[in-house]
Structure 1
Amino acid sequence: MKQLAASLLLASATLSAAPAFAQTACQPGTYAAPDGDFVVLVKSPAVPAPGLRYLFRDGQRGATSDSGAPLACGAGDVSVNGKPWAPIAFRETPATFDSVGTKMTGVLIEPPGADAKRPLVVMVHGSERSSPIGGVYGYAMAAQGISVFVYDKRGTGGSDGEYTQNFELLAADAAKALDTARSMAAGRHGRAGFFGGSQGGWVAPLAATRTKADFVAIGFGLVASPIEEDREQMVSEVRAAGLGKDAEALVTRLSQATAGLLLSDFRSGYDALDAARREMADKPWAAKIDGEYSGAIARMPNDELKRVGAARFDNLELIWDYDAVAALKKLDTPLLWVLAGEDREAPIETTRGALLGLAKGGKPFDVYLFPDTDHGMFEYTTAADGSRSVTRITDGYLKLLGDWIKGKARGSYGRAERLTAAR
């Protein structure tokens, strides 16, 4: 999946200058209200120093350097609506561990106090190359009374090795991370499992078949192969443009053709690709179709694809025809899956059908959908040209994750729709 960080950078570009006190007084940390609400403040490359990125439990997000930021920073606390919120004194323990002969780095974040029943969650990364250590999401989970282990994926941050998107290797890393976290928090945790976002939706369930996990939670992931993801993205694009069933059929044939190239390591499949190109040649909209990769492949000459296609599109060991359903069928672990109703990057049609079918067949799966949200559970505004601008994480998403991991999910969570029956 394309990096979610790109949308965050675009959203940050509109942030305006702030009063001097907001730029100099804010300190990184997590601050809590007496009723359990919280805000996380972290340094971010998307926010010029001395500003910090903030994230509230209800999904409000932005930068302290924004003149409209809904908080004020004081000496050792944060004021929201004129009331002081105190810092949470997390216990943070750096860690290193070995996975498949590679040294990995991580950190265990534990809330204050001792609780032998406190849940423990390992955060499984998406496709981004940035480090999750020091990011908002680990602290947002810990602020809800959960111990959290975050680690740098191989080839990024402080972890050795080469960056890859090979699900089997990434699942081995995640499984080892959970084993490491359990050992570090021995006697200070209860149920332990995984949270995976985006590409982590492929990796976390697979990791749960490689080691003991008490739960798996997924946000905006796919129960479909990368090839199916590409097809569904293009179908979503033509539907958004109001182009009809003929256009859907054309992009489906294009996806089938590009899949042939990918599965053959760009050695064969060019006749099918040329046929798809001919079918689309007189369609003005064809030049604007992207998918995950098919649009770019279709616009490259065959001789260039034969020379550099594999290096350009297939250099990260992605398992193109990965059977996500097969991995889920192996799971008898409780699983939460949260869908973004208008996800352009990971369209939900196939995923929703697969999950509901598995739940109906007896799997202990809880499926929720947040309407009018895009990848990352982001609400957005839509411009006249159809482009979207991120506004916030939808209200209820972070709380749902926290409550479910603690085994206490009940009632309503913002505008979330529960698609499976309560258990």
Structure 2
Amino acid sequence: MKKLLGALLLAALPATPAFAQACTPGTYAAADGDFVVLVKSPAVPAPGLRYLFRDGRRGASSDTTAPFSCGSDSVTVNGKAWKPVAFRETPATFDSVATKMNGMLIEPPGAPDAKRPLVVMVHGSERTSPIGGVYGYAMAAQGISVFVYDKRGTGGSEGEYTQNFELLAEDAGHALDQARSMAKGRFGRAGFFGGSQGGWVAPLAATRTKADFVAIGFGLVASPIEEDREQMVSEVRAAGLGDDAVALVNRLSAATSQLLLSEFHTGYDALDAVRRDMADKPWAAKIEGEYSGAIARTPNDELKRIGRARVDNLELIWDYDAVAALKKLDAPLLWVLAGEDREAPIETTRGALTGLAKAGKPVDVYLFPDTDHGMFEFTTNADGSRSVTRITDGYLKLLGDWIKGDVRGSYGRAEHLTPR
């Protein structure tokens, strides 16, 4: 996906004031289990750190509005000192499909617990390392052992970066094997969490290796081709356009999918026909989708020459059958939807998931209204663009409680779409 989870987490940070707070990286917890994670980030000038609270508040420690102050061995929130959490962190390397991968096992403090859940975090399409990031620690702070690893071709992992779901699922499966081996005798059930593109990869991995659960945030039960089409439909509807515009972008998606599936050999006649019908539409020049807008504005001779190199160079499985993978999955599945997700529109995904639940699959579906990709709340600017503010309250706690098998009460504004 173009707007990567990692990119979203780096967005909208304020400038660093001259009197930046001197905070020490780490996770700090209150007596009631609340916590804040502080990590170094290239988006936050030193000595500032990125912070993330359990309730989703986020920003830079150097921000004048940061809701805490830092001491030498604690963080003070609302007048109370939160103490550092002493995680056990164990570096790891493992092999996957003749490639050496780099990872880290993060375990909560305290005596070994044979019932503690273990989760492997399957990343989205970002190229940044999850090791040392906020999400692994935010999960571990909730009493979960967490294994994070660098996607192949990124961070400390060897190989070539790819978006081939089949290969990435093999990597995730080997990561789970490695995590189980390292935490032997110190965990109970073990499974995957996947965000964004991880919604394609984690369930597929769970059909190939024994997983006790799969949790997904803001992923798609649709192919990348369907994602592109739904993004364009979302764009024209947001612009207040009617069924004629929807029909045109559906035709555009069908034409560009021919190009992709034929490796840019066929589909040009259909693309030219759509271009002619869109030529007098002022809104057409602003259509993006995942890739169709850019393809439509690129001359055919250029598409034939370098189209595949520009658009189809990462081995993406364009017509991937996500529903088929979920039908093979026997492990319990949590899927959390962002209600106003522009990057991964939810209409097809919501229908597929509720259908699987009605068919008897162990599927839990939650929706957080008024959130965009990444479970971000947002403000809408005058030009229709969005500025993200925070992760919506309840999302991180829902993930932690569900993985621990301890879901109870409400989670922010979450709507449970598949109650039993």
CA contact (8 A) 1:119 1:192 kept: yes
Counterpart of 1:183, as a letter, is: S
CA contact (8 A) 1:367 1:419 kept: yes
Counterpart of 1:11, as a letter, is: A
Equivalent of 2:349 in 336, 348, 351: 351
User: Is residue 7 from structure 1 mapped to residue 8 from structure 2 by the alignment?
Assistant: yes
User: Is residue 53 from structure 1 mapped to residue 54 from structure 2 by the alignment?
Assistant: no
Counterpart of 1:19, as a letter, is: F
Gaps in structure 1 of 5+ consecutive residues: none
Superposition map of 1:264-413 within 5 A: 264-413=262-411
Which residue matches 1:78? 75
Q: CA deviation at 1:207?
A: 0.2
CA contact (8 A) 2:7 2:126 kept: no
Which range moved further: 338-347 or 42-51? 42-51
Which residue matches 2:258? 260
Which residue matches 1:98? 95
CA contact (8 A) 1:96 1:103 kept: yes
CA contact (8 A) 2:370 2:377 kept: yes
Q: Deviations over 1:278-301 (max 9, x none)?
A: 110000000000000000000000
Q: Deviations over 1:109-166 (max 9, x none)?
A: 0001111100000000000011000000000000000000000000000000000000
Which residue matches 2:131? 133
C-alpha RMSD of the superposition? 0.8
Structure 2 counterpart SS, 1:327: helix
Which aligned runs of 4 or more in structure 1 are off by greater than 6 angstroms? none
Distance 1:256 1:184 in 2: 47
Distance 1:87 1:156 in 2: 30
Equivalent of 1:180 in 173, 178, 187: 178
Equivalent of 2:213 in 212, 215, 219: 215
Distance 2:304 2:267 in 1: 11
Distance 1:291 1:413 in 2: 32
Counterpart of 2:309, as a letter, is: A
> How high is the TM-score relative to the length of structure 1?
0.98
Equivalenced residues, count: 418
Which residue matches 1:19? 19
User: Is residue 225 from structure 1 mapped to residue 217 from structure 2 by the alignment?
Assistant: no
Distance 1:40 1:18 in 2: 23
Query: Percent of aligned pairs with the same residue?
Result: 84
Which residue matches 1:244? 242
CA contact (8 A) 1:199 1:221 kept: yes
User: Is residue 191 from structure 1 mapped to residue 189 from structure 2 by the alignment?
Assistant: yes
Q: CA deviation at 1:7?
A: 3.3
Q: CA deviation at 1:46?
A: 1.0
CA contact (8 A) 1:123 1:194 kept: yes
Counterpart of 1:86, as a letter, is: K
Structure 2 counterpart SS, 1:255: helix
Distance 1:165 1:385 in 2: 32
Counterpart of 1:414, as a letter, is: G
User: Is residue 416 from structure 1 mapped to residue 411 from structure 2 by the alignment?
Assistant: no
Structure 1 counterpart SS, 2:12: helix
Structure 2 counterpart SS, 1:11: coil
Distance 1:409 1:153 in 2: 30
Which residue matches 1:120? 118
> How high is the TM-score relative to the length of structure 2?
0.99
Q: CA deviation at 1:82?
A: 1.1
Distance 1:193 1:4 in 2: 21
Distance 1:334 1:18 in 2: 49
Gaps in structure 2 of 5+ consecutive residues: none
CA contact (8 A) 2:16 2:45 kept: no
Q: CA deviation at 1:4?
A: 2.9
Counterpart of 1:56, as a letter, is: F
Which residue matches 2:153? 155
Q: CA deviation at 1:10?
A: 3.4
